[in-house]
Amino acid sequence: RRESAVRFGADFVFDPHDEKSTTTVEKSDVVIIAAGNPAACQTGFQLVKPGGIIILFAENPPGTTLSFDPNQFYHKEVTMLGAYSSSPVELKLAFEMLVSGKVQLSNLVTHKFPLNRIPEAVSTMRLAQDSLKIVIVPKDEGG
């Protein structure tokens, strides 16, 4: 998944459990946390520039709490946003980009499953190893 993120334009990706990988990263204006775990959230705060924005774009396990010094938000003037979905304006813009060909999504679909293989599709999604986006199709397309 990290390799795919780079291929699709991410400036830098890393494993939040690998402390060495974050020490060589420049601070960023915007940090998008797309992994649902507390370590990623903590690391995201360390990597944002003063005045920067942290976007939390992943659900953490229920009951997750983060420990931080609120003075760090105050002194760094960091903004943290949660993003669950898109607004109608963003959906319209995304649709226009798709229709115009500015954005190609075919490379994001890594697996297709027919309806009769939904349990396998869900299992593949949960493993999150080599899958990005999984599509359920009405019937087997022969591959």
pLDDT at 56 over 80: yes
pLDDT at 131 over 80: yes
Q: pLDDT class for 142, splitting at 50, 70, 90? A: low
pLDDT at 62 over 70: yes
Global confidence as pTM: 0.61
Q: pLDDT class for 68, splitting at 50, 70, 90? A: confident
- CB within 8 Å of 55: residues ≥ 6 apart: 30, 31, 32, 33, 80, 81, 82, 83
Note the pLDDT of residue 19.
Answer: 66
On whether the CB atoms of residues 14 and 22 are closer than 8 A, the answer is yes
